[in-house]
A and B are shown apart, each in its own frame.
Chain A
């Protein structure tokens, strides 16, 4: 057995082991952290829903018409009369009508507690004795001016029982007295406000209506009770068991969590992919350095499979150790995230453990497989000769294979971006993966001219150390290329994200310029709607010509979900600079305007009658009155406000479009002062809309960049690894250089320059690919709003500098080591 040789090698080269394992640890930590964190979140939500719904045997609610996500304004309410009917059903215990909606608390600084875009801000009815939550102090709200707050919100706003708070709902702001504090458990920072039922109905829903009716059972099973209750319900209402209700809530969260998990895992896998390059490179170097030892083993009778197994054995050990630490680091990461959410207990399932080890070991072994195969090909006679080189496959084959992979990959990306194939996202992913591997295979050939150019200035300025660095970087193009390729991947993806971001910004700005015809837009900042009174108040503001509300909703056309905008045709036409292609920009009582695309798809012309089913379940026939050119701001359809109101239980204004005599600062200030009681509303002019869009895009770009930074860190570890191993490999040479008079400083400089050149080469490759990918993605989304291509040259130059800095940092330790080498020992070393 060669296990002993394997183990001893690992023990003898701990630093190599650690450096290789770091690549595994970081990648696995990312995977394990994601899995543990999402598992924990899932479990917490499951517990929460179990707890909230534990006393509910049957729930009565409106049937969902348009889709299962109907919520908020679109959800139809349950008339109070249903509660009386349900009360009479035998077996029903304590039926309670609930009212839920948007309500936020204004803090002492005049801003919303919990911000505009953040955790949910929920208002609910409080029915003593049946609540989901427990009253912690004070008493239940009673009457139109009383509210109970959750303890977390009260703490954030420094409110106590007896204080007066301002509550914002989709209506006029309310001043209310805090009478109680409720414990909502761990709801991730959500705000909950509770009112008595009539107040909740008035503020959140509609007097005489409930969001749903919950009930317990006096004995019958949930299904039995559901059937009994269903018999007394009017059309359009449904009864579901408590179990189904809990499962629905859970599966909603599970679905979201699943998406979130997949999203994070994609980035984790990118890190692992980068790590694979590092592992491949390290094992290649280890095998090269151990040629004589492996040949000796072959000479004294080790078979090829035994040598392969010995190297693979090392990979298994590195993978195992890396996975173990990675798992631990992942758990730590998840705990850190959890503690940010206020609860540090983690849920451990088998999945993260099994996946961590499976991924860590598999990736390490797969990456070490080719080096291990090469190790087995070392001829035994190499044990006795100095000049036996490892058999290397010709670069020509590599170039051909690499080129082929790039072509196939690019083709797959092209097909995927074009929306072809069964799963475009997977196609693009696999295609990009192949392109990366292909470019990595081509990289040794590309590296020679590029590295020569990159290192030329160093060679000129620094003299001999610079020239030596250049030669070192060129000496083994495969190694330089593999190291750079790892960095390439991260930077390519970061470049794609940045190109996309810049293109999005430019596209949105040009859309605002071209399509936004109004002077101001008032919209909610985050959740909730706009009260009906807002438009009237703003219209009365000095300097304002008109303020028109616009509504938005979902309906069903031909069995498919169809979103619409509702409002005045004239206002919408001028506000969105609609270009009417045929018909007129009028709606009348039952008209509908549609854009060219949907008209073409549905074969509608002006005068076509279209049956539209609304969220109340009723279908109305609307006549196409006008067809307009595609508008990113308005979307595909516009219907009359009256039709929207007729089918919507609680109409909510989506935005208010304001036109003013002059768009100077004074007008904006005047509108803002009109709205000072509405901290949830935001007034935007063109510049502000652009700024908002820019901010959102920037946040998105930074978020993705941060997720990709992990892969860059792993690649940086790879540079350290390569340099450290090169230094060991060149011990004699370095000793010789020192012996003939090169100073430590010059030596360190030499290694640093090599490192910078490798890192910058990787960055240049990555950015090239990134810009190409970014442009391809932009082209494919040209008709979906991403009309302009923008390459953020400034940012890319900054990343190039970052790559150089990574090079400098990566060289620190290897250079220090090389400088510290004992000259005599170095020369005489084997």
Chain B
């Protein structure tokens, strides 16, 4: 059953609204000039509810990665506003942006997630090290146990499997208790079993620890782990689905009359 009601995000969120961990308001982003111009985001307005696991889905080229980069303060927008919590991200100077990423945002990337010269534990505590803060020992222990990495803490990334590396990345994102975690195709490079482990772990951290997570993916199976799915096409949010299952997501994706629809 496709939810055809206007997406949650369309209700223009008022600044200071407490139930969103991050919001984008009329965000537009264009790459290139002239003939090579690509409209990546075309006035997207969306809110990421606090304490939920949100997946952003769309065919390749739909602008889903760009949306995430812009919402996370990694990339600049051409117009519109982005908020994380109560802080307006757009217009922030690099110094404050950096502090915001450090203190309020966690990241899990598709690949090259870890600093190769540091051990697993050092990678997990790296954001705190950078900030010059002592990690909360108890919390850290809980995170490490949840991801099941205790026996592997002293290993370097090259000595870990892909799934283990991604779990280290998740632990790193969680360890500093950020307001929101952005995950960019976190299972893109993993086999299905490791992928399921990582996704289950992300879902658990939302359910048990109240973490907010946004995940970009084009894999309906991965999206099914989320609490809600936002569909993005041509730089615009076109649909929202709560309580998704892989079948429903796949079905919905097939509806997009675009080349590459339902890839995978």
A→B interface (CB under 8 Å) = 1-2, 4-5, 8-9, 11-12, 292-293, 296-304, 306, 379-381, 383-384, 830
How far is B109's CA from A379's CA once the two chains are assembled, in angstroms?
15
Q: Is the CB of B112 within 8 A of A383?
A: yes
B184: chain A residues at CB < 8 Å are 384
Q: Does B99 contact A (CB under 8 A)?
A: yes
Among A301, A304, A379, max chain B CB count under 10 A is at A301
B→A interface (CB under 8 Å) = 65, 69, 74-75, 94-95, 98-99, 101-103, 105-107, 109-118, 122, 126-127, 129-132, 172, 184
Of the residues A8, A299, A384, contact of B65 by C-beta under 8 Å: A384
Q: Is the CB of B101 within 8 A of A380?
A: yes
A380 nearest CB across to chain B (Å):
5
Q: Is the CB of A381 within 8 A of B75?
A: yes
A21 nearest CB across to chain B (Å):
18
Extra inter-chain contacts (12) besides given A297-B126, A306-B130, CB under 8 Å = A2-B130, A4-B118, A5-B118, A296-B115, A300-B127, A300-B172, A301-B105, A301-B127, A303-B94, A381-B69, A384-B110, A830-B112
B113: chain A residues at CB < 8 Å are 296
A298 nearest CB across to chain B (Å):
7
Which 3 A-B pairs rank lowest in CB-CB distance, beginning with the nearest?
A: A301-B102, A8-B117, A303-B98
B106: chain A residues at CB < 8 Å are 300
A306: chain B residues at CB < 8 Å are 130
Of the residues B103, B110, B112, contact of A301 by C-beta under 8 Å: B103
B65: chain A residues at CB < 8 Å are 384
14 example contacts (A-B, Cβ-Cβ < 8 A) are as follows A2-B129, A4-B118, A4-B122, A5-B118, A8-B117, A298-B98, A299-B74, A300-B127, A303-B98, A303-B99, A304-B98, A383-B109, A383-B112, A830-B112
Interface of A is mostly: helix
A810 nearest CB across to chain B (Å):
28
B75: chain A residues at CB < 8 Å are 379, 381
How far is B58's CA from A479's CA once the two chains are assembled, in angstroms?
41
Q: Is the CB of A12 within 8 A of B109?
A: no
B69: chain A residues at CB < 8 Å are 381, 384
A236 nearest CB across to chain B (Å):
78
Closest chain A residue, CB of each to CB of B66: A381
A299: chain B residues at CB < 8 Å are 74, 101, 107, 109
A11: chain B residues at CB < 8 Å are 117
B70 nearest CB across to chain A (Å):
10
How far is B116's CA from A299's CA once the two chains are assembled, in angstroms?
16
Among A12, A297, A299, A379, max chain B CB count under 10 A is at A299
| Contacts A5-B118, A293-B116, A384-B69 given; does A300 touch B130 at CB 8 Å | yes
Of the residues A1, A292, A381, A384, contact of B129 by C-beta under 8 Å: A1
How far is B116's CA from A304's CA once the two chains are assembled, in angstroms?
20
A298: chain B residues at CB < 8 Å are 98
Of the residues A12, A302, A303, A383, contact of B116 by C-beta under 8 Å: A12
A830: chain B residues at CB < 8 Å are 111-112
Of the residues B115, B122, B132, contact of A297 by C-beta under 8 Å: B115
Of the residues B101, B111, B115, B131, contact of A5 by C-beta under 8 Å: B115
Q: Is the CB of A300 within 8 A of B101?
A: yes
How far is B113's CA from A292's CA once the two chains are assembled, in angstroms?
9
Q: Is the CB of A384 within 8 A of B109?
A: yes
How far is B118's CA from A519's CA once the two chains are assembled, in angstroms?
82
Q: Is the CB of B129 within 8 A of A300?
A: no
Among B74, B106, B116, B132, max chain A CB count under 10 A is at B74
B127: chain A residues at CB < 8 Å are 300-301
Closest chain A residue, CB of each to CB of B97: A380
How far is B111's CA from A301's CA once the two chains are assembled, in angstroms?
18
| Contacts A293-B116, A383-B112 given; does A4 touch B74 at CB 8 Å | no
Q: Is the CB of A300 within 8 A of B99?
A: no
B114: chain A residues at CB < 8 Å are 296
Q: Is the CB of A302 within 8 A of B130?
A: yes
B98: chain A residues at CB < 8 Å are 298, 301-304
A394 nearest CB across to chain B (Å):
17
B217 nearest CB across to chain A (Å):
14
Q: Is the CB of B130 within 8 A of A297?
A: yes
Closest chain A residue, CB of each to CB of B129: A1
Q: Is the CB of B117 within 8 A of A300?
A: no
How far is B127's CA from A2's CA once the two chains are assembled, in angstroms?
10
| Contacts A299-B101, A380-B74 given; does A1 touch B132 at CB 8 Å | yes
B182 nearest CB across to chain A (Å):
9
Closest chain B residue, CB of each to CB of A298: B98
A383: chain B residues at CB < 8 Å are 109, 112
A759 nearest CB across to chain B (Å):
33
Q: Is the CB of A301 within 8 A of B115?
A: no
Closest chain B residue, CB of each to CB of A10: B117
